[in-house]
Amino acid sequence: MSVQILGTGSYLPPKVVTNDDLSKSLDTNDEWIHSHTGIRSRHIAEEDDCTSSMAAKAGKAALEAAGVSPDDIGLIIVATSTPDYATFPSTACLVQAALGCKGAGAYDLQAACAGFVYAIEQARCWAKVNKGAKALVIGAETLSRVVDWRDRGSCILFGDGAGAVVVGEAEGAGPEAHTVLWADGNGASFIYRDGGTRLKPQPGMFPIPTLVLQGHDVFAFAVRALAKVTNQLCEKLGTTPASLDRVFAHQANGRIIDAVARRMKLPLEKFYLNLETTGNTSAASIPIALDEAVRKGELKKDMKIVLCGFGAGLTYAGTYMQWPYL
Ligand code: COA
| Residue 44 near residue 160 (C-beta atoms within 8 A) | yes
- Identify the pLDDT of residue 206: 65
Among 143, 253, 316, the mutation site with the greatest number of ligand 1 atoms within 8 A of its Cβ is: 253
pLDDT classification of 198: cutoffs 50, 70, 90:
confident
- Identify the pLDDT of residue 326: 98
- How far, in Å, is the centroid of ligand 1 from the Cα of 155? 10
- Identify the pLDDT of residue 201: 73
Per-residue pLDDT, averaged over 110-125, amounts to 98
Q: Which atom of ligand 1 is nearest to the CA of 312?
A: 48
Residue owning the nearest CA to atom 40 of ligand 1? 215
**Alpha carbons 322 and 229: distance in angstroms, whole number:** 17
- Identify the pLDDT of residue 204: 72
Report pLDDT digits (tens) over 14-25.
Answer: 999 999 999 999
| Residue 62 near residue 294 (C-beta atoms within 8 A) | no
- Identify the pLDDT of residue 72: 98
Q: Which atom of ligand 1 is nearest to the CA of 37?
A: 35
- How far, in Å, is the centroid of ligand 1 from the Cα of 215? 6
- How far, in Å, is the centroid of ligand 1 from the Cα of 153? 5
Distance of CA 197 to CAs 186, 200, 212, 311, 314, Å? 19, 7, 17, 21, 19
pLDDT classification of 205: cutoffs 50, 70, 90:
low
- Identify the pLDDT of residue 202: 76
147: which DSSP letter? S
pLDDT classification of 203: cutoffs 50, 70, 90:
confident
- Identify the pLDDT of residue 67: 98
Active-site residue set = 113, 250, 280
Per-residue pLDDT, averaged over 285-308, amounts to 98
pLDDT classification of 200: cutoffs 50, 70, 90:
confident
- How far, in Å, is the centroid of ligand 1 from the Cα of 214? 9
Q: Which segments of 149-194 are extended strands (E)?
A: 160-169, 178-183, 191-193
Alpha carbon distance, N-terminus to C-terminus of the chain = 11
pLDDT classification of 261: cutoffs 50, 70, 90:
very high
| Residue 274 near residue 38 (C-beta atoms within 8 A) | no
Per-residue pLDDT, averaged over 185-211, amounts to 86
171: which DSSP letter? S
Domains and CATH numbers, the chain: 3-169 (3.40.47.10), 178-322 (3.40.47.10)
Distance of CA 325 to CAs 64, 179, 318, Å? 19, 13, 15
| Closest to 75 in 3D by CA, of 11, 7, 124 | 124
- Identify the pLDDT of residue 242: 96
Report pLDDT digits (tens) over 71-112.
Answer: 999 999 999 999 999 999 999 999 999 999 999 999 999 999
Residue owning the nearest CA to atom 37 of ligand 1? 215
Taking the model in full, what pTM does it have?
0.97
- How far, in Å, is the centroid of ligand 1 from the Cα of 277? 19
Instruction: Please give all residues whose beta carbon lies within 6 A of any atom in ligand 1, as ranges.
Output: 28, 32-33, 36-37, 113, 152-153, 156-157, 191, 213, 215-216, 218-219, 222, 252-253, 280, 311
Residue owning the nearest CA to atom 2 of ligand 1? 28
Residue owning the nearest CA to atom 31 of ligand 1? 36
Residue owning the nearest CA to atom 34 of ligand 1? 215
- How far, in Å, is the centroid of ligand 1 from the Cα of 156? 9
Percentage of the chain surpassing pLDDT 90? 94
Per-residue pLDDT, averaged over 145-170, amounts to 97
Taking phi first (over 0 means left), then psi (-120 to 50 degrees means alpha), and beta for anything else, what does residue 95 get? alpha
Residue owning the nearest CA to atom 14 of ligand 1? 153
Q: Which atom of ligand 1 is nearest to the CA of 213?
A: 45
**Omega before 207 cis (within 30°)?**
yes
Distance of CA 225 to CAs 3, 262, 303, Å? 27, 14, 23
Report the mean per-residue pLDDT for the chain: 96
